[in-house]
């Protein structure tokens, strides 16, 4: 199994934890969060290990940013890059109910929750979060 770190102790992190705990792909190490009040706490059984800078202590772990706001998520991805995290270390999380048809693409670091539907020629970029039940049809780009 691949080690996994979540970034941000959030509701989206809880969604991702529920998803990865049901599968055999990831070994959840914990959560990184810059809020000093959260460090040392536990969210749904996962320990908040420390701030983003702690990513360097886990050189083989994949990382997924669990922040709902696109602008904040983009800033965190930029900050992780400045800390030396290469793009290939971001995990893509896809619920088992989601099928990615031929001709559709999902960028690294994206999160697709339960019952997302993609039809034809759908392109989702890097670090896109798709909530449950969303449908993308022919040619959609997000």
pLDDT digits (tens, 9 = 90+) for 72-108: 999 999 999 999 999 899 999 999 999 999 999 999 9
Same domain, 70 and 97: no
Total domains in the fold of the chain = 2
Average pLDDT over residues 47-67: 97
Q: How confident is the model at residue 116 (pLDDT cuts 50, 70, 90)?
A: very high
pTM of this prediction exceeds 0.85: yes
Same domain, 32 and 84: yes
pLDDT at 88: 94
* H or E element that contains 71: helix 70-82
**In terms of residue numbers, what domain contains 130?**
92-142
CA distance 75 to 78: 5
pLDDT at 22: 83
Same domain, 67 and 96: no
Same domain, 120 and 63: no
Same domain, 55 and 28: yes
Among 89, 111, 133, the domain boundary falls at: 89
Same domain, 66 and 121: no
Same domain, 15 and 50: yes
Task: Assess contact for 85 and 109: CB atoms under 8 A.
Answer: no
Q: What are phi and psi of 53, to 5 degrees?
A: -60, -20
């Amino acid at each position: 199994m691949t080690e996994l770190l979540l970034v941000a102790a959030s509701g989206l992190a809880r969604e991702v934890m529920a998803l990865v705990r049901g599968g055999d792909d990831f070994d959840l190490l914990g959560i990184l969060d810059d809020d000093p009040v959260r460090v040392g706490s536990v969210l749904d059984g996962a320990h908040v290990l420390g701030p983003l800078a702690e990513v360097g202590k886990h050189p083989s772990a994949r990382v997924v940013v669990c922040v709902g706001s696109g602008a904040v998520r983009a800033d965190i991805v930029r900050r992780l890059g400045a800390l030396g995290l290469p793009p290939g270390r971001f995990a893509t999380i896809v619920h088992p109910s989601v099928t990615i048809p031929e001709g559709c693409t999902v960028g690294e670091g994206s999160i697709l929750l339960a019952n997302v539907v993609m039809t034809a020629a759908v392109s989702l970029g890097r670090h896109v979060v798709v909530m449950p039940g969303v449908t993308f049809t022919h040619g959609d780009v997000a």
